[in-house]
Every structure is written in C-alpha cells, then in structure tokens.
Amino acid sequence: MFESKIAFPWQPAYIKVIYRPSPTPGWRKPVHAGVVMMEKDRGREEIGKDG
C-alpha cells in the first residue's frame, strides 16, 4: 500500500490517499481518499471524499 499527502493552500486540510499497486507501470488506482482536517478543524473530518 502506498500513502500520499497532498496539501492544498486554499483550505486547512490535506488529502490522504491510499493507493494499491497496479500492473501498469507509473499508474496507481486510489482505493480510498479521505480529507483529514488539521488541528483547529479536527471536529469536521470528512472521510470518503475522492481527491
């Protein structure tokens, strides 16, 4: 499993995407994407958003 964090400057959150290995080189399919809020917005997690 692979995990990547993508930061967005326009919102206080980052996208946590978990990938599974793909038979095609250089390409991975996201199997789960969740928006994880930072400390001050911890009460508003949104899980299951596609990135």
pLDDT in tens, 8-44: 555 544 555 555 555 555 555 554 445 544 444 444 4
Whole-prediction pTM:
0.14
**Cα torsion 14, 17, 18, 23: sign:** negative
Residue spans per domain, the chain: 2-47
31 contact partners, CB below 8 Å, separation of at least 6: 18, 19, 20
